[in-house]
Structure formats: C-alpha cells, structure tokens
Structure 1
Amino acid sequence: MPYAVIAHYRCAESDAPTVQAALTAMQTHTPTEPGNLAYIVHTDTETPPGESSFTLYEQYADEPAFTAHTQTPHFHTHILQTIRPLLTSRTIWTGQTL
C-alpha cells in the first residue's frame, strides 16, 4: 500500500534561497530512487513577513521505500546537513494511501 509523507518546513526569509536550492536538488535525486512515486515541493504563499515556508508531498511504494530514502547520501546532505539546521519549525505527517 503506498505510503505518503507531507512535510511542512519554515525558515527565516534570509535562509529561503539555501533551503529552496537543497529542495530543488532533492527533486532531482529522489524520483530516481526505487519505490519513489512522487516528490513535489511547494512554496507557501501565505507566510508571515520575515519567514518562508515550504510544503513537500512525497509518496513511496511502501514504508520501507521511504525508510530507504532517508538513508540515501542526498537525504543526508540536503535534508539533514543543509536544511534542518536552518528550520524554525518542521511538521511531518505520514499515512497510507487508501
């Protein structure tokens, strides 16, 4: 059963170009992974002044495919090392597609 992830990232407006560049790199790498069905990044249009936010929609063939995604070199470089230290908030929702 497909496994979905929705992530909401918020950062300072000054950090948005770095976060956006890292997410763009993830959009290049993630769709090539076995088990990835979708990786879509959105920039939120209603964010308070001085902040930027992004919403990611990810879908995988199953939860093990998502777990494998979190072990890739690009996940470690772009998400763990580049993006997460810049975030002021992060919310993750996971679920199975009906």
Structure 2
Amino acid sequence: MKSSPIHVIAKWKVKPGELATVLALLPEVVKASSEEKGNLFYKIQQDNADPDTLLLFEGYRDEAAAAEHRNSVHFQTIVVGKIVPLLESRELNVTTPLTFA
C-alpha cells in the first residue's frame, strides 16, 4: 500500500508584543525543517489584516516523515520550547491531499 503525503496547516496567533521574537526564531526552524529528508515544503505566511497571525504550510512525504519532524531537536527546542509559550493560540490541521482525475 502506497503511503500518502501529509500536509499540515498551522495557524499561530502570537501574543501582543511577541511577534518580533517569534519572527527572529523562524528562519532557523524553516531552514532545519526544509532540510529534513521527508520534507516536501515548509512555508510561512503572515495575515494581511492581523500581522500577529501566522499561517504555516508544511508538506511531508508521509506520516512517518511528519512524526520525524515533530520529534526533531529543532522542533522540540525552538517551536515547542521557545515559540509556543509566545502564542495566544495554536491550531493545527493535518490533512491528506485529494487527487481528482
């Protein structure tokens, strides 16, 4: 059975006054995540109406690659350890792309 790609759409609402700190931490996260063997893409967008809202679009080869990302040192250290405490809220949607003929 062929495994399916996993796409993650994360919405981060940054606490007031913490955006500069979060933005300063993100380049290292993007670089390390993009270099992961099972990574397909890792993109971050900023909401035009609310700059404190960031949207992350991540793609992984399969669920194993997504799990490897979540367990990586850079994710645990920077995202979980340093960024998450600076967020008001964090929503995650883990999806499987649909293909239509």
**Same-fold call, TM > 0.5?**
yes
Cα distance in structure 1, aligned partners of 2:21 and 2:57: 19
Cα distance in structure 2, aligned partners of 1:83 and 1:66: 19
Cα distance in structure 2, aligned partners of 1:42 and 1:13: 18
Higher strand share: 1
Structure 2 counterpart of 1:10, one-letter code? K
| Deviation (angstroms), 1:10 | 0.5
- Counting aligned pairs with the same residue, the percent is 33
- 1:60-88 deviation per Cα after TM superposition (whole angstroms, max 9, x unaligned): 00011000001111001110011100110
Residues paired across the two proteins, number: 95
Gaps of 5+ in 2: none
Match of 1:70 in 2: 70
Match of 1:5 in 2: 8
TM (norm. structure 2) is 0.88
Higher-Rg member (1/2): 2
Q: Which runs of 4+ in 1 moved over 3 A?
A: none
TM (norm. structure 1) is 0.91
Gaps of 5+ in 1: none
